[in-house]
Amino acid sequence: GSCGSCWAFSATGALEGMHFKKTGKLVSLSEQNLIDCSKEQGSGGCNGGLMPQAFEYVQETGGINSEENYPYDGKDDYKCRYEAENSITKCSTMGLILTGDEKALLEAVATVGPIAVGVDARSSEFHFYKSGIFKNPWVGDSRLTHAMLVVGYNSTKHWIVKNSWSHVWGDDGYMLLEQGSNQLGIANKACYPIP
């Protein structure tokens, strides 16, 4: 699968967290729904998109389908098959973290839940990460090339970040990322849906 859909996985993760907080139900939401249907909001489907475009789509459409109803095929289908009657959740607006503000990100994870983030995933160290607290070996301007989901943190030591590269990557699909120096640009494009 060469579908650049990390942004859709990041967005559904944040939406699932929001929905769970609201209803107590954990429902897997459809990334394919976002890939096929958010072109109008500016997303490029499998050629990449941004989480705010996904949240905007859900906001304007009034919903998103479940993974079960609208399964992932990792292709640009160019045909939106969203069914309003099977909508699982909706959002009214979105929250954005001030660029680079890790304290605000911490606050958001603590009070809101999972937060969609952009990261700089260009280094081979990132690609081959296995375990432990990751610290980017080279510091330069972070270009956000990938999207992930911050699901938690350990006090102010590290972030717990979920990737969409299956459980074979990293620590069962997750990464522990050093906190305090905006590693990988983690707080540069962080956002979340608001019910």
Q: What is the pLDDT of residues 84-113, one digit of tens each?
A: 999 999 999 999 999 999 999 999 999 999
In this structure, the number of other CB atoms found within 10 A of the CB of residue 109 comes to 22
pLDDT score recorded for residue 139: 67
pLDDT score recorded for residue 137: 74
Q: What is the pLDDT of residues 107-138, one digit of tens each?
A: 999 999 999 999 999 999 999 999 999 998 77
Residue 77 confidence class, pLDDT cut points 50, 70, 90 = confident
36-66 residues labelled b (16+ CB within 10 A) or e (exposed): bbbbebebebbebbbbbbbbbbbbebebbbb
Identity of the residue numbered 147: A
Does the global pTM surpass 0.85?
Answer: yes
Active site residues: 6, 146, 163
pLDDT score recorded for residue 2: 80
Domains belonging to the chain, first-starting first, are 5-94 (3.90.70.10), 96-194 (3.90.70.10)
